[in-house]
Structure 1
Amino acid sequence: MKKTRVLYLEIAEKIKEDIFSGKYPVGTMLPSEPELERLFDVSKITVRKAIELLAADEYVEKKSGKGTTVLSERPYNKLSKAISFTQILENSNLSVKKMILDVKKITLDESQKAYEYFGSEAIWFQRMYLLDDKPYICFDHYLPVGLKRVTKEDLEQESLYRILYQNGLEIERFMDDFVAIALNQEQQKLLQTEETIALKRIRKSYDYDQKVVEYSEAIYNTSNHAYQIEYET
Structure 2
Amino acid sequence: MAVKYMEVYGQIKAEITSGRYQTGDFLPTEPELMTEYDVSRTTVRKAIGLLRDDGYIDARQGRGTEVTAPLRREDGYDFTSLVGRTTVQTRTVSDSPSKVTAQAATIETVPAPDRVAMALGIEPGTPVHRVQRLKLVDDEPVAHIASYLVADQFSDLAEHSGSVYYLYQFLAARYGTRFARSSSRLSAVAADFIESRILGVHVGDPLVLQTRITESDTGPVEYSESFERSDRIVTFITVSPGTEEGTQLDLVE
Q: What TM-score comes out, normalization by structure 1 length?
A: 0.54
Choose which of 111, 125, 134 in structure 2 pairs with 1:128: 134
Structure-2 residue corresponding to 1:115: 117
Aligned residues between the structures? 146
Consecutive unaligned residues in structure 2, runs of 5 or more: 1-84, 242-253
User: Runs of 4+ in structure 1 displaced over 4 angstroms?
Assistant: 229-233
| Pairing 1:192–2:200 present | yes
| Pairing 1:82–2:84 present | no
Consecutive unaligned residues in structure 1, runs of 5 or more: 1-79
Residues 1:225 and 1:89: Cα distance change in structure 2 (over 3 Å): closer
1:22-171 residue pairs with structure 2 within 5 A? 82=87, 84-85=89-90, 88-89=91-92, 93-110=97-114, 113-116=115-118, 117=120, 118-119=122-123, 120=125, 121-146=127-152, 147-148=154-155, 150=157, 151-156=160-165, 159-165=166-172, 166-171=174-179
Cα deviation, residue 187, structure 1: 1.0
Cα deviation, residue 152, structure 1: 2.8
1:10-25 residue pairs with structure 2 within 5 A? none
SS of 2:180's equivalent?
strand
Higher RCO (CA 8 Å, separation ≥ 6 residues): 2
Q: Distance in 2 between matches of 1:184 and 1:89?
A: 22
Cα deviation, residue 160, structure 1: 2.2
CA contact (8 A) 2:88 2:235 kept: no
Cα deviation, residue 182, structure 1: 2.1
Q: What TM-score comes out, normalization by structure 2 length?
A: 0.50
CA contact (8 A) 1:100 1:125 kept: no
SS of 1:127's equivalent?
strand
Cα RMSD for the two superposed structures: 2.8
Cα deviation, residue 93, structure 1: 1.7
1:213-232 residue pairs with structure 2 within 5 A? 213-229=221-237
CA contact (8 A) 2:92 2:233 kept: no
Identity %: 17
Residues 1:89 and 1:180: Cα distance change in structure 2 (over 3 Å): closer
